[in-house]
Structure 1
Amino acid sequence: MSTATTHSETKPPATAGIVAVLAFAGIVVALMQTLVIPLIPQLPELLDASPGNTAWAITATLLAGAVAVPVMGRLGDMFGKRRMLLVSMALLVAGSVVGALSVSLTPLIIARALQGLAAGVIPLGISVMRDVLPKEKLAGSVALMSASLGVGGALGLPVAAILAEYSNWHFLFWTAAVLGAAATALIVVVVPESKVRTGGSFDFIGAVSLSTGLITLLLAISKGSSWGWTNELTLGLFIASAVTFVSWGFWELHTTGPLVDLRVSVGRQVLFTNLASIVFGFSMFAMTLVFPQVLQLPEATGYGLGQSMLVAGLVMAPSGVVMMLIAPLSSRITRLYGPKTTLMAGAVVVAIGYGTGVVMMSEVWQLVLISVVIGAGTGLAYGAMPALIMGAVPASETGAANSFNTLMRSLGTSFASAVAGVILAQMTMSMGDTSIPSEQAFHVTMAVAAGAAVIAFVVASFLPKHSPQGSTEVVAAVPEREALTIS
């Protein structure tokens, strides 16, 4: 009897359950990014507000996520990653409930900001995996968790479109609240707390200055097309962002316990992984901007496919499924050849997908095929990025380092939105009294995205080589620095 009791007390956690719960939480959080996209054309009427003001329902989530990702990562390293996971999920549930009860624009913007504050769940989940999973399970689990960002975003479009079309729009937020509550409960029951901690105090000055720099930069990028890229406010925000980032970098290099250890971040492996992440984030997001428009434009244009938002979402959904299915292949390539090879292979596949789109977007099945190819490449690359980061930082800084990498991807998607917005706004044709993006505009956007994938390949080629044996043991790649293990 006593032997059985001892065995149960020392039995390792059920790794499959931990991975499944964390991946589910990541998918739920990623769903928030596309939750209101089907509602965007209807929001001005639903909330009695102008289109410019209702756009803040998207912008608020973007800005809040940019602030939350690095802050939650550092807090997770200091006070417990599982604890910060639960805080993030609680913010998501609170935001969803506020959104479900909203009848005007201001509370909806607050709700979307609260949902955005949960953006740190995916990098925190990856960091938990590093701390609690056995080494042989880590590569595949991290690949799946990392892919959940793309999975949730892709699956969110059809789910949100169905709910928006066949129910009251508030039901979108009630559904998000239920999913968030379920993920929270599962984390409480299944996911153990990591015992790895970082000492020191929280870098409030670093957090505030980084947040200020990110908010001014992303605000200028997201609003530049509507305000005007040469508008005084837009230029002022870009200048303020640059000055703030320089000041933040100086502070981080001269303070103890920085929010982001820039000395580690400028190391070859971390630096080039983060640079590749920016370019890859740019490339991955272009599809989301092009395909829904091509699918929904009327056939009278000569290149539009005249489909509904629901069909557009369903066309995007297979890419998310493929991202999840490709995770085992991504981890296998990483184990055999190293994460550098996996990242470069993903960039090649994405470039092929977008290159195909330059010449082939005239049928629904063609867009499905292209989205599947791009999803496969994205799944390969997203699975490799955390392995590269964790192979170059101490375990005590995993949360902050993974969060910063996730932030780099998010910056890439923001740049994609801005660049694609300029292309689609400048290359137009007239249809009645309305200007719409021309067919050439979509092809140019796809070509730019293909070029971004090629650049990601080139950047990844500068990463240091990995031996097959070393690539599977990311947790042992770097010695601990200032780590405190709590029993």
Structure 2
Amino acid sequence: MTEPASVSTTPSPLRGKAGAITMGLVGYLFFVEFVSGVLQGYYVPLISDLVEYLGIRDADFNWFEAAQLLLSALVVPVLAKLGDMIGHKKVLLISTVLTAGASWWLVFADSFWVFLAAWALQGFYVVWLPLEVALIFDRGRRSDTGASQTRRAAGYLVVALEAGAIVGALGGARVFAAFNENVTLTLMIPAIAVTAAFFVILFGVPESTPQPGRRLDTIGFILLTIALLTVTSGLTFLRINGPATWWVYALMVVGLLLLYPFGRWVLKHPDPAIDLRVLRQPSMWPVQLTAGLVGISILGAQAPLSTFAGTDPANGFGLGLDATERSYIIGAYLVAMIIGALLFPVVSRRFTPRLALIAASVTVGLGYLAFLVNNTTAVGVTLNMVVAGIGSGALVAALPAAAAAAAPLGQTGIATGLTNTTKTIGGAFASAVFAVVLVLAAGQAVTETASSLLGYLIVFAICGGAALVAAASLLFVPRLAFGDVAADEALIDAPR
């Protein structure tokens, strides 16, 4: 039986009524998210050159990624909550200043530890998308179609993000060559871009309306930070030190146990760091769970996919593609994400946001499960990635918008921010587990070729299975959740 279409079936333009989401606002944030994409893509082709410039080993670069991952998991909830308290634009500006400062620090960093500190601090950009979606939704509350407008605007922001990633990945190496392989001059480009983003936000983006009488739950955030730091550190050290290191498991168990006192505290607090009562609502917990489960593939599967595509077929599997050829597959995946981000609001309008979320999750699952039977040709692998990319792009845009629509007044920022945090934790979990799976599979199978192929198939199966579990969890969401009427009801039912 087909679900009824959502109440708002006629798309309203992103302009017009006073207080509505305008194309100008979306355009300014489009630029900011484009810069975010550039930051994520620009340094990738330069990794080997940065390793040589700093005089370190290739493996040492893992510490840069780990440090930024840890910082992003820790700062997003706090900054998102501050956005609800003092205004999302103010916190967006603060995070942009910190990102710009770290980007300029990278320009002059010439040692491992200095570069590590600057690289980690540059990770403040991860809060941009949640804050932008929260700011857009706050603006849209003043119109009758805020939720649907937010979905469309979020789709455009993901287009900007992925377009920036493509431009950054393609441009990093070319800028490096144009500057005669001068690292200092090459690293100035992203620093200039982030600086420009600050002024775009300052002069082009209006402030949201914070709720009066709010206060920061300092103890709650300290407890949450310690728990997240312990869990993500354990996952990071598991990936770096290997599965034989016993204490990493103890570290993760301690981190999980620390969530208990955090939960006890926030349930008693009048304005908690994270409102668990809101989080357990059927329109919220499946969204957060989906973000974590899909983070497994979006953030955790990229390295295994790259190494699989680069493996010499003489080993019995793999595609034997060089770096340039692998970049074509990555490019196809990013373009597919753009398509998915643009398709999601269309499908939501034709059916319901709930059905569109389920369809996107199933699409991700099918794309990765297809690797189990279709992994011997570049065309086949690219097709798998395109299918997964369409679903992934839809979810990257949809999940923050869905969380915003489900959140009560005054908790939009923390709700959207949590989708980023859970996605990051899912990615950290996947990176560690996938590294263990590939090592254990190599040591337990009959032959080296079979063992390695088995490990990759397990990775793909985990990604596909996690996405299908996410789709199943979304069945618990009320049928008309995340629509414009649901958003209005969230305003009415907000706790006073």
In the superposition, the TM-score normalised over structure 1's length comes to 0.87
- Structure 1 residue 338 displacement after superposition: 2.2
User: Aligned partners of 1:92 and 1:322: how far apart in 2?
Assistant: 28
59-68 vs 300-309, which moves further: 300-309
**Partner SS for 2:480:** coil
* Residue 422 (structure 1) aligns with: 436
What are the equivalent positions in structure 2 for 1:81-160 lying under 5 Å apart?
81-133=88-140, 134=143, 135=145, 137-145=149-157, 156-160=168-172
User: Aligned partners of 2:389 and 2:182: how far apart in 1?
Assistant: 31
100-109 vs 434-443, which moves further: 434-443
What are the equivalent positions in structure 2 for 1:387-402 lying under 5 Å apart?
387-402=401-416
* Residue 376 (structure 2) aligns with: 362
Q: Which runs of no fewer than 5 residues in structure 1 stay unpaired?
A: 1-9
* Residue 337 (structure 1) aligns with: 351
Give, as a single letter, the amino acid of the residue that structure 2 aligns with 1:398.
T
* Residue 488 (structure 2) aligns with: 476
1:285 lines up with 2:292 in the alignment: no
User: Aligned partners of 1:170 and 1:445: how far apart in 2?
Assistant: 38
**Partner SS for 1:140:** helix
* Residue 25 (structure 1) aligns with: 32
124-133 vs 174-183, which moves further: 174-183
User: Aligned partners of 2:359 and 2:32: how far apart in 1?
Assistant: 28
* Residue 469 (structure 2) aligns with: 455
* Residue 15 (structure 1) aligns with: 22
CA deviations 1:379-430 (Å, max 9, x no partner) are: 222333234322321231100111012111111111221222122222339x
Give, as a single letter, the amino acid of the residue that structure 1 aligns with 2:402.
L
RMSD: 2.9
235-244 vs 66-75, which moves further: 235-244
Q: Which runs of no fewer than 5 residues in structure 2 stay unpaired?
A: 1-16
User: Aligned partners of 1:162 and 1:438: how far apart in 2?
Assistant: 35
User: Aligned partners of 2:449 and 2:52: how far apart in 1?
Assistant: 22
Q: 1:62 to 1:147 in 2, by over 3 A?
A: farther
Q: 1:436 to 1:271 in 2, by over 3 A?
A: same
User: Aligned partners of 2:225 and 2:41: how far apart in 1?
Assistant: 23
Of 174, 195, 199 in structure 2, the residue corresponding to residue 181 of structure 1 is 195
- Structure 1 residue 262 displacement after superposition: 1.3
User: Aligned partners of 2:469 and 2:476: how far apart in 1?
Assistant: 11
1:74 lines up with 2:81 in the alignment: yes
User: Aligned partners of 1:149 and 1:203: how far apart in 2?
Assistant: 32
* Residue 231 (structure 1) aligns with: 245
**Partner SS for 2:211:** strand
Q: Is the 8 A contact 1:89 1:184 kept in 2?
A: yes
286-295 vs 258-267, which moves further: 286-295
**Partner SS for 2:284:** helix
Give, as a single letter, the amino acid of the residue that structure 1 aligns with 2:154.
V
Of 361, 364, 388 in structure 2, the residue corresponding to residue 347 of structure 1 is 361
User: Aligned partners of 1:361 and 1:182: how far apart in 2?
Assistant: 43
- Structure 1 residue 455 displacement after superposition: 1.0
User: Aligned partners of 2:476 and 2:185: how far apart in 1?
Assistant: 48
User: Aligned partners of 1:416 and 1:302: how far apart in 2?
Assistant: 25
CA deviations 1:9-46 (Å, max 9, x no partner) are: x9668722321322332343344445544455565543
User: Aligned partners of 1:101 and 1:29: how far apart in 2?
Assistant: 21
85-94 vs 225-234, which moves further: 225-234
Q: 1:132 to 1:421 in 2, by over 3 A?
A: same
1:61 lines up with 2:68 in the alignment: yes
* Residue 226 (structure 2) aligns with: 212
Q: 1:409 to 1:225 in 2, by over 3 A?
A: closer
User: Aligned partners of 2:293 and 2:163: how far apart in 1?
Assistant: 19
* Residue 405 (structure 1) aligns with: 419
Q: Is the 8 A contact 1:152 1:320 kept in 2?
A: no
Number of paired residues? 469
User: Aligned partners of 1:152 and 1:462: how far apart in 2?
Assistant: 35
1:321 lines up with 2:335 in the alignment: yes
- Structure 1 residue 141 displacement after superposition: 0.8
Q: 1:250 to 1:384 in 2, by over 3 A?
A: same
Of 398, 402, 405 in structure 2, the residue corresponding to residue 384 of structure 1 is 398
* Residue 56 (structure 2) aligns with: 49
Q: 1:42 to 1:294 in 2, by over 3 A?
A: farther
User: Aligned partners of 1:367 and 1:290: how far apart in 2?
Assistant: 13
CA deviations 1:345-364 (Å, max 9, x no partner) are: 00121122112222223333
Give, as a single letter, the amino acid of the residue that structure 2 aligns with 1:379.
G
User: Aligned partners of 2:363 and 2:377: how far apart in 1?
Assistant: 21
